[in-house]
Amino acid sequence: MNLPDCYKEVRKLTEQICAPLHTEDYVVQPVADVSPPKWHLGHTSWFFETFILKPYFMGYQEFDPQYNFVFNSYYETVGTRVIRTDRGNLSRPTVADIYKYREYVDEAMDKFLSSEPAADIKELLILGLNHEQQHQELLYTDIKFILGHNPLFPTYSEDYRPPENEKNTGSPFVKMNEGVYEIGFSGEGFCFDNELGRHKVYLQNYEISPLLVTNGEYLEFINAGGYQDFRHWHAEGWDWVNKNNVIAPLYWHNINDTWYNYTYTGLELIDWDDTLCHVSYFEASAYAAWKGMRLPTEFEWEAAAGQFNWGTRWEWTESAYLPYPGFVKASGAIGEYNGKFMVNQQVLRGASEVTSPGHSRVTYRNFFQTYLQWQFTGIRLAK
Amino acid sequence: MNLPDCYKEVRKLTEQICAPLHTEDYVVQPVADVSPPKWHLGHTSWFFETFILKPYFMGYQEFDPQYNFVFNSYYETVGTRVIRTDRGNLSRPTVADIYKYREYVDEAMDKFLSSEPAADIKELLILGLNHEQQHQELLYTDIKFILGHNPLFPTYSEDYRPPENEKNTGSPFVKMNEGVYEIGFSGEGFCFDNELGRHKVYLQNYEISPLLVTNGEYLEFINAGGYQDFRHWHAEGWDWVNKNNVIAPLYWHNINDTWYNYTYTGLELIDWDDTLCHVSYFEASAYAAWKGMRLPTEFEWEAAAGQFNWGTRWEWTESAYLPYPGFVKASGAIGEYNGKFMVNQQVLRGASEVTSPGHSRVTYRNFFQTYLQWQFTGIRLAK
Amino acid sequence: MNLPDCYKEVRKLTEQICAPLHTEDYVVQPVADVSPPKWHLGHTSWFFETFILKPYFMGYQEFDPQYNFVFNSYYETVGTRVIRTDRGNLSRPTVADIYKYREYVDEAMDKFLSSEPAADIKELLILGLNHEQQHQELLYTDIKFILGHNPLFPTYSEDYRPPENEKNTGSPFVKMNEGVYEIGFSGEGFCFDNELGRHKVYLQNYEISPLLVTNGEYLEFINAGGYQDFRHWHAEGWDWVNKNNVIAPLYWHNINDTWYNYTYTGLELIDWDDTLCHVSYFEASAYAAWKGMRLPTEFEWEAAAGQFNWGTRWEWTESAYLPYPGFVKASGAIGEYNGKFMVNQQVLRGASEVTSPGHSRVTYRNFFQTYLQWQFTGIRLAK
Amino acid sequence: MNLPDCYKEVRKLTEQICAPLHTEDYVVQPVADVSPPKWHLGHTSWFFETFILKPYFMGYQEFDPQYNFVFNSYYETVGTRVIRTDRGNLSRPTVADIYKYREYVDEAMDKFLSSEPAADIKELLILGLNHEQQHQELLYTDIKFILGHNPLFPTYSEDYRPPENEKNTGSPFVKMNEGVYEIGFSGEGFCFDNELGRHKVYLQNYEISPLLVTNGEYLEFINAGGYQDFRHWHAEGWDWVNKNNVIAPLYWHNINDTWYNYTYTGLELIDWDDTLCHVSYFEASAYAAWKGMRLPTEFEWEAAAGQFNWGTRWEWTESAYLPYPGFVKASGAIGEYNGKFMVNQQVLRGASEVTSPGHSRVTYRNFFQTYLQWQFTGIRLAK
């Protein structure tokens, strides 16, 4: 697909994700990690306006200079930002105004893309599209959080279809041999800066499961008192469990001794054959310890990824999010994209059922804090 | 006016106050003390449904049993409540649904009121209307907070007209003589339980200002370093100033050495002749100390109220909010109305420019925590 | 007694209270409201050094200029202070050094008092002695908190003798007639500024109990589910109960279904005939509400005090701590003594078993925040 | 040295470290990470009593069953523990009692060790001695924190001699070649479980400094505005700087434009040739970024450690604290030693001037949270 069409398709998908929402759903921010959908809509447009239209499109008129103040995220180099926890306090700009803003930016981009941009601008554009795809996934997860924490448990869309479950073919763990492996992105096409620097790592013998953990398997951990036994947990995880009274994955509700979970189609009986979802790293790690196994490192995952299916859950790994050898931050605001988060977070590999099509790849490095459950996160065991 | 018309008029005013809002403005809750406008709309309807229609209107069908969970406020006797700070996280019910709920309740009330209700139900109804008027004022103050804390400083309504300023006629303080005065409500008509128990108090000689403090007078306090000198402040007030870096009344902004304040028509240059507004009790008390005076007690205020104009600002008094002699809580949920707040709050007397017409009276006892600024609060000096 | 002897006697008593302590007991500060005993010892000496010796004793050499920084309390006018919650972090000056400091100050005071001081200095001296007596009581209550929160429940002193219980003579409530009463200090002798301004108040008919509530009577409230029923509590009190999981007065422990309380002689079975102690205002008020009665106001208490025994418990009143008519703060640091606390606190009247001999009187106004339990506080009912 | 002598020597050193303290210094806990010295003294004795004497020494009488409650640290398997932040609230047991406890345990250990213990008990004993050495270092760092945060800046001991500074011989960075290296402990002697599992890693070409960063070099970073420029910092580090107003390493004080630091001999002018100390990981990483370099990984450090001097500072590495391949937690309480901390901490390599003699080694893995400054931490650059 050519770049202008690509641009249109990505931008359209963002709006399709929001189509089932009521105006009110666009506004709220129940916790700091969840952003209001209208903020995602504005922020992704702001990205193209700020990094492409304003510097490179001669004669472009900014839609509204105040929007920089409202839709900037963590880009410290681009003016004063709205403190992140305040996003949910802002009723203005309205949703209608933000859609106007998107339209305005899209029209300008359309004109701008009518002539072939220079290579470095193209790169920025592709980064912007990948950035928007990341926010598409966040829209899905944030919408689920907003509706799933409403006492009325409203349906997002009756049309939402989760992926088919993997067949449990009884396959044994995949055995991998000790030796030197190459890790990191190579070849053509887009990747983030944190995947670059393809390099050798030495792995020991290991085995990795071809299947993800199911709800039913995880229920055994719950029923065995897993949340009450500190021995399975990191000290910090154990504190998290107790301070927050965690007793199950996010969206699970035990009502009169029956387990339900909240889904995009409302509150439903849990399907025990479904792939487990919405667990924190602490839970993933405790479950693995209880099974007498462990999580794979991100290198083990990447080396073996050709031998199993992946793509329905972001898979927690045993690897902390750290720079690859030779990693260098880009200069300017774009350089704030990844490097500054390389501390106290854990790597997730794969993709999830709400990751945008074509967005992820086998070298993709996702990362989140160890206590977060609101992404579509799952568990693959290793030993 | 007859009761059914009264009901309609009060209910209509609530909706008129909200008319200038966009849907998004109904949803947010920037701080715990401010409720989303849609919550006020739902809660006032819930009051009539819960305390009148459900117990007394035969055959009434509840609009939605879940709404009790969402729109209950602090009434501990009526089921589990939504935790107050969570109101701003709820995108559903939508604004449209809440207006349907109001309409549904209003139609039922209309039928119910077509035959004369019993005296005790009438009393409940009048309480409900006064309750709704209190929420009308909160709508005004909460809307101002929501829009006034948005970086775009949007206008609420170009039609909003603040009251004329009092003429400063240079009148001296009103002198009041020592002696026994009668305090509290007597006579016909509605009053809250906290005004009842008319009783004698003994007052010493005192003087009270016929005028409220102006912005210009308060600016002198600011310019004299009032916010930097602990001697004027209560110890708790001094902590509040320093923890919150308070340097002026709420909505005042010093931009390039010029003072602006946010009003219902947007950010404007401060009019120094305007009556001061949006100060906390801590500020009112510190200003009075700086002037070498004090605030009046609520009894001094009531005894002298016939001799000055009041009604544009709630006036902080030196009196803590405590029960009058013989005060008895009503039984049941209605009994939670006032008595349980009679600790660690300060009494305000009068009314404000956004108090509903006919709502207040000379014996009315309003009360708030000492650090709050978001009501239309002002200062009257005594000595 | 002459002033020099008075001084010696008061100073000696402070040291006698501390005599049973180990060095370690002088150092800790388990919560912000409790100060380390060594701080009390230093602070009371600092008071005489700062307000008498330095300004009035020619040629006096300050013991250590740094001590001002360490032993200043809330006197904002006298240099930078140590933040209150930090007192428990200071291992130096050592206890031995602080005793040396006391001795140094006492010797200087002895010389200073060898010639008759001027009247205004005498006044300051008497204030200093009353100030030290207040810290004597705080030493008692803070020592009890420190030892009573140690898992070893150590004994303070086997010699401690609590007062005899009042005989319950079955006397009925004292009836008091409506009318004008005079309130506040008059006559010769010392009083605090907050007692001054003797003035008339008008009281309605009321009745007041001649006896304080006992442990056994309060147990009935506990057993009747008093801590689980919000109807008896102020809204703020109910929050306090639930956030802190309060189920009984401070120092009560339910061990295997038997109630014990911590006393100066260790953990003991509760004596149900003993006068109740260590309840917050919230508890006092909830108990009274449960009994269908109320607490007396401070004016009711003072007007009736001649008709019952008092002095073993500080008695919570229904009165907020506010200035008497005509109250004026003293200028300078001494002026910070009382006035700045006149908000969001409740008045207690009487005295307690650990109040220093001769310190209190019928017009004395003690005051604390409504959630505090660590003083020797009790309940007298009114109606 | 034989085991009984080893035991005596280690135990004696602990007491020597404490010898300069006053009783009061043993008691306080200014922040949660710092424990009172008396707690270290008790806890290390408790370790031998709990894990050796009680299970293996027939007829041993526990010194005091309550001490388990007081001196247990994070060992969740051994009874209820005192919450960590409460340690500073405990005045009892007294310091004298704790020294009695040590003596009692030492006498029992002396008898117990008079006959050769079984191999597995020997292992426990050696673990206990290494554990005590870790607390010796914590005693040093906690004592420095306690005295260094006292406004009197007391001297710990005039006899304390810091190590000589390394000569800056102008040596270039050590060049290391790409390839497979072996990492982890092998051979005889004691090591912690987290060092085990010697395994191959693949390293790229890198260079590592033979010298640690000095105070003077770090001052350039400060003077260049390093603490004010977010580009050098991790996002989490930048938050830490701003929330805590960090402007320099711990113990640095800028007084009238001159830099001092607190040392064991009091407040002194900073020696710019001294090796930098007391920086957090955030600061170490920001400094390296500002220099256009980075910190070494723990594997790079270990592979190159033979080619430079180390041992005066714990050196922050770019490696998160994670399990080595094949890591298995020991069962029981001993198993809580290391594994449960393997999340959200960073590895430090080397040893410091206050590490006990013989305690560390080239494979030793120390670890702390990224914001902590109170250990003797420094910076070695890599590229």
Backbone angles phi, psi at A55, to 5 degrees: -75, -30
**H or E stretch at D368:** strand D366-368
Cα-trace Rg, chain C: 22
pLDDT at B181 over 70: yes
Which pLDDT band, with edges at 50, 70 and 90, does A339 fall under? confident
Which pLDDT band, with edges at 50, 70 and 90, does D75 fall under? low
Name C19's Cβ contacts closer than 8 Å, sequence gap at least 6. none
**Helix D215-223 with D281-290: angle, nearest 10 deg:** 70
Find the angle CA(C25)-CA(C139)-CA(C60) to the nearest 5 degrees: 95
What is the rounded (10 degree) CA torsion for B261, B266, B267, B268? -80
Q: What percent of chain B has pLDDT over 70?
A: 95
CA B302 to centroid of chain Cα atoms? 18
Q: Give the CB-side neighbour count of residue D368, counting CA atoms within 13 A.
A: 21
Q: Residue ranges of the alpha helices (H) in chain D?
A: 3-18, 37-48, 54-56, 67-71, 95-112, 119-148, 215-223, 235-243, 281-290, 298-304
Residue C232 · residue C226 · CB < 8 Å: yes
Rounded average pLDDT over B243-255: 95
pLDDT at A169: 75
Across the interface, whether the CB atoms of C341 and B233 are under 8 A apart is answered no
Residues C195-225 have pLDDT tens digits of 999 999 999 999 999 999 999 999 999 999 9
pLDDT at D84: 54
pLDDT at D62 over 90: yes
Residues B340-374 have pLDDT tens digits of 999 999 999 999 999 999 999 999 999 999 999 99
Rounded average pLDDT over D244-253: 96
Write down the mean pLDDT value for chain C: 93
pLDDT at B177 over 80: yes
Residues B321, C319: Cα–Cα separation, whole Å: 10
CA D29 to chain C, closest CA, distance in angstroms equals 6
The two most distant CA atoms of chain A are separated, in Å, by 66
Residue C70 · residue C90 · CB < 8 Å: yes
Residue A61's alpha-carbon distances to A45, A50, A65, in angstroms, are 14, 11, 10
Residues C382, C287: Cα–Cα separation, whole Å: 12
Strand order in the sheet with C266-269: C252-255, C258-263, C266-269
Across the interface, whether the CB atoms of A91 and B66 are under 8 A apart is answered no
Domain residue spans of chain B: 3-148, 174-378
Residue D192 · residue D326 · CB < 8 Å: no
DSSP annotation of B211 reads S
Residues A310, A350: Cα–Cα separation, whole Å: 6
Residues B193-237 have pLDDT tens digits of 999 999 999 999 999 999 999 999 999 999 999 999 999 999 999
Rounded average pLDDT over B119-129: 94
Chain A residues within 8 A of D320 when measuring between CB atoms = 320, 322
**H or E stretch at D179:** strand D179-183
Residues A12-59 have pLDDT tens digits of 999 999 999 999 999 999 998 999 999 999 999 999 999 999 999 999
Query: Choosing among B77, B231, B283, B336, which should be mutated to test the C contact, i.e. which has the most C CBs within 10 A?
Result: B231
Lowest pLDDT segment from C338-342, D7-11, D145-149: C338-342
For residue C257, count CB atoms less than 10 angstroms from its CB and return exposed for 0-12, middle for 13-18, buried for 19 or more.
exposed
Residues A86, A308: Cα–Cα separation, whole Å: 42
Q: What percent of chain C has pLDDT over 90?
A: 86
Q: How many Cβ atoms from other residues are within 10 Å of residue C342's Cβ? A: 22
**H or E stretch at A208:** strand A206-208
CA-wise closest residue to C48 among C91, C95, C7: C7
Q: Give the CB-side neighbour count of residue D297, counting CA atoms within 13 A.
A: 20
DSSP annotation of A258 reads E
Residues D368, D345: Cα–Cα separation, whole Å: 5
CA-wise closest residue to B141 among B6, B290, B34: B34
Q: What percent of chain B has pLDDT over 90?
A: 86
D248 token code pair: 């320099």
Q: What percent of chain A has pLDDT over 70?
A: 95
Across-strand partners of B315? B349, B378
Chain D residues within 8 A of C154 when measuring between CB atoms = 92
Find the angle CA(A318)-CA(A323)-CA(A328) to the nearest 5 degrees: 165
pLDDT at B52 over 90: yes
Q: How many Cβ atoms from other residues are within 10 Å of residue A93's Cβ? A: 25
CA C195 to chain B, closest CA, distance in angstroms equals 16
C305 token code pair: 């005090």
Query: Choosing among C92, C146, C147, C156, which should be mutated to test the D contact, i.e. which has the most D CBs within 10 A?
Result: C92
Amino acid at B279: V
Residues C147, C145: Cα–Cα separation, whole Å: 6
pLDDT at B383 over 80: yes
Give first-to-last CA distance, chain A, whole Å: 42
Residues D95-105 have pLDDT tens digits of 999 999 999 99
**Chain C residues bordering chain D (beta-carbon distance below 8 Å):** 22-30, 38, 66, 69-70, 82, 86, 88-95, 146-147, 149-152, 154
- Closest partner CB to C66 (pick from D26, D30, D152): D152
Residues D93, C25: Cα–Cα separation, whole Å: 10
Rounded average pLDDT over B130-153: 96
The complex's ipTM?
0.95
Name D85's Cβ contacts closer than 8 Å, sequence gap at least 6. D29, D32
Sign of the dihedral defined by the CA atoms of residues C13, C17, C18, C21, in that order: positive
Residue A60 · residue A54 · CB < 8 Å: yes
Peptide bond before residue B249 is cis, with ω within 30 degrees of 0: no
Across-strand partners of B207? B175
DSSP annotation of B51 reads I
pLDDT at A332 over 80: no
Rounded average pLDDT over A257-274: 96
B299 token code pair: 């009894």
Residues D181-233 have pLDDT tens digits of 999 999 999 999 999 999 999 999 999 999 999 999 999 999 999 999 999 99
Q: How many Cβ atoms from other residues are within 10 Å of residue A210's Cβ? A: 18
CA C84 to chain D, closest CA, distance in angstroms equals 13
> Is the CATH number of domain D174-378 3.90.1580.10?
yes
Lowest pLDDT segment from A169-178, A221-230, C208-217: A169-178
pLDDT at B78 over 70: no
Across the interface, whether the CB atoms of A94 and B23 are under 8 A apart is answered yes
Lowest pLDDT segment from B284-298, C80-94, C298-312, D262-276: C80-94
Sign of the dihedral defined by the CA atoms of residues C323, C327, C328, C333, in that order: negative
Across the interface, whether the CB atoms of C22 and D88 are under 8 A apart is answered no
Residue A322 · residue A183 · CB < 8 Å: no
Across the interface, whether the CB atoms of A236 and D343 are under 8 A apart is answered yes
- Strand runs labelled E in C74-221: 174-176, 179-183, 199-203, 206-208
Residues A88-122 have pLDDT tens digits of 889 999 999 999 999 999 999 999 999 999 999 99
Across the interface, whether the CB atoms of C92 and D30 are under 8 A apart is answered no
**Chain D residues bordering chain A (beta-carbon distance below 8 Å):** 74, 76-77, 180, 199-202, 204, 206, 230-231, 233-238, 281-282, 285, 294, 318-320, 322-323, 325-326, 335, 340-344, 346, 370
**H or E stretch at A238:** helix A235-243
Residues D31, D33: Cα–Cα separation, whole Å: 6
Residues B109, C194: Cα–Cα separation, whole Å: 55
Residues D162, D354: Cα–Cα separation, whole Å: 9
* CB burial string A180-199: b at 16+ within 10 A, e below: ebebbbeeeeebbbbbbbeb
Chains that touch C (3 or more CB pairs under 8 A): B, D
Query: Could you please report the per-residue DSSP string of A8-57?
Result: HHHHHHHHHHHTT--GGGGT--SSTTSPPHHHHHHHHHHHHIIIIIHHHS
pLDDT at C36 over 80: yes
Q: Residue ranges of the alpha helices (H) in B178-280?
A: 215-223, 235-243
pLDDT at A335 over 90: no
The number of residues making up chain C comes to: 383
Across the interface, whether the CB atoms of D200 and A202 are under 8 A apart is answered yes
Residues D143, C91: Cα–Cα separation, whole Å: 11
Chain B residues within 8 A of A29 when measuring between CB atoms = 89
Q: Residue ranges of the alpha helices (H) in C59-117?
A: 67-71, 95-113
CA A212 to chain B, closest CA, distance in angstroms equals 33
Across the interface, whether the CB atoms of C343 and B236 are under 8 A apart is answered yes
Across-strand partners of D200? D182
pLDDT at D82: 55
CA-wise closest residue to B7 among B100, B98, B114: B114
pLDDT at D130 over 70: yes
- Closest partner CB to B322 (pick from C201, C230, C320): C320
C and A in touch (3+ CB pairs within 8 angstroms): no
Place of tokens 């800028």: D254
